[in-house]
Amino acid sequence: MENPRQPTDPEELEAKRDKLVAILKGFGSVLVAFSGGLDSSFLLAVASQVLGERVVAATASSPIHPRRELEGAKEFCAKRGIRHIVFESQEMGQERFLKNSSQRCYWCKRAKLVQLTEVASTEGLDIVVHGANQDDLLDYRPGSKAAEELGVRAPLVEAGLGKKEIRAFARAMGLENWDMPASGCLATRIPYGEEITLERLSMIEKAEDFLLSKGLRGVRVRHHGEVARIEVSTEEMPRLIETSFRKEVVDFLQGLGFLYISLDLEGFSSGKMNRSLHNT
């Protein structure tokens, strides 16, 4: 969710970036929880400019994270000479996570951040930071509570930076993923209350990889049992209902195990699965 009311005054925007720089300087050294998405990429790039070799990036490898994102994170760090640690996260071994309650994100985030604080201690780094931004405060994000409990800082929130501002700064900096759509982990494609399994995660990842390989952007494939619900931008909908491409998509997704393939006519919206929490 990008806040349309974010300021556009150049001086105010620059003041926010200056505040971010001051916050990072005050940390001394940091471990950046780096997903490879836009927010954490921007945070890592600025932190690297400010702190140099006193910055280390750490990325979780897990079935809930698309392999494409891990590879992108590796390339981002390699291009900039940033030390990058890849660690195996353990959420798939947690029953509280697999049950997929409304607190799923809390337990997942907490487990990862505990691992990251241990990595930071081993590496002699002062603090762990993550890429939450000001707009995240507008949505249901129980993982933020876990970060607060463990003392993991969110410099983008502290500087008052929202997604549109981050995107503008990232573009000005020449970051290759400045226009990258929001992603989120694959577990967010499964409705609350339905068990998270390796099979379901694999079906979702393969379906989204296929659609992305065909040039679509900002894709979500929501797993509703026998039904795959595809979300894309309204601009991209006409392509999905074009006869030959529609058949190709249906054939591929049915080959993965879905019986019914649907297109969400509302279009893509980040955090849409959280609506069920507000209707109970």
Tens of pLDDT along the chain (280 residues)? 455 445 567 888 889 999 999 999 999 999 999 999 999 999 999 999 999 999 999 999 999 999 999 999 999 999 999 999 999 999 999 999 999 999 999 999 999 999 999 999 999 999 999 999 998 887 767 788 899 999 999 999 999 999 999 999 999 999 999 998 888 899 999 999 999 999 999 999 999 999 999 999 889 999 999 999 999 999 999 999 999 999 999 999 999 999 999 999 999 887 777 777 765 4
Q: How far apart are CA 145 and CA 137, in angstroms?
A: 11
| Secondary structure (H, E, C), the chain | CCCCCCCCCHHHHHHHHHHHHHHHHHHCCEEEECCCCHHHHHHHHHHHHHHHHHEEEEEEECCCCCHHHHHHHHHHHHHHCCEEEEEECCHHHCHHHHCCCCCHHHHHHHHHHHHHHHHHHHHCCCEEECCCCHHHHHCCCCHHHHHHHCCCECHHHHCCCCHHHHHHHHHHHCCCCCCCCCCCCHHHHCCCCCCCCHHHHHHHHHHHHHHHHCCCCCCEEEEECCEEEEECCHHHHHHHCCHHHHHHHHHHHHHHCCCEEEECCCCCCCCHHHHHHHCC
Q: How far apart are CA 89 and CA 61, in angstroms?
A: 6
HSE-CB for 86 with a 13 A CA cutoff: 14
Q: How far apart are CA 268 and CA 230, in angstroms?
A: 8
Query: Could you give all domains of the chain from N- to C-terminal order, each with its CATH number?
Result: 10-173 (3.40.50.620), 186-278 (3.30.300)
pLDDT at position 279: 59
CA 166 from centre of chain: 14
Q: Which of 163, 167, 165, 158 is nearest to 270 (CA)?
A: 163
pTM of the model: 0.90
Write the pLDDT tens digit of every residue in 113-125. 999 999 999 999 9
Count of C-beta atoms within a 10 Å radius of residue 89: 18
Q: How far apart are CA 166 and CA 43, in angstroms?
A: 9
Q: How far apart are CA 209 and CA 135, in angstroms?
A: 27
